[in-house]
Amino acid sequence: MLIPKFAIAALAVALAAPLAQAEEQAAEPAAEGKRCIPIQRIKSTRVVDNQHIKFELTGGEVLMNTLPHKCPGLSRNDPFMYKTSLSQLCDLDTITVLQHIGGGFMPGATCGLGKFVPYVEEKKEDKDKDSDD
């Protein structure tokens, strides 16, 4: 059975379109950030302020999570906890601020996470250049 040339061309176009679209979508989330990170890769966290948390992952990757809203009580000195039924921490998950009470902790505000965006620390030289302008 012979297949007409136009049918082969149509099939090639039909197969190429989803591939191109998938490549575009794969590139897009990197610019917008990751929705989830594997919990087992979280090496440490550091609260920057009441709306930003840095996540250091194994392999040297550092991601910044910007919460959609300011989180009351979230500060550099107070720890937080998260609970998820998955093996990933995602932008739909929440954190709960833990407040020091006596010799223990008491749950405080619960706040939603945002996307995980690659974090690049500014070099001191770059900061000095900006202040000279």
Per residue in 9-52, pLDDT tens? 443 434 444 434 333 333 344 458 999 999 999 999 999 999 99
Taking the C-alpha atoms of residue 120 and residue 63, their distance in angstroms, rounded to an integer, is 8
By mean pLDDT, which of 43-47, 75-79, 96-100, 123-127 is the weakest? 123-127
Structurally, the chain folds into a number of domains equal to: 2
Return phi, psi of residue 56, to 5°.
Answer: -95, 125
**Nearest CA among 67, 63, 62, 55 for reference residue 109:** 67
Q: What is the pTM of this model?
A: 0.68
Residues 24 and 69 in one domain: no
| Better-scored residue on pLDDT, 39 or 3 | 39
Residues 28 and 40 in one domain: no
**129 is a domain residue:** no
State residue 42's pLDDT score: 97
102: domain range?
A: 36-120
Distance of alpha carbon 1 from the chain centroid: 52
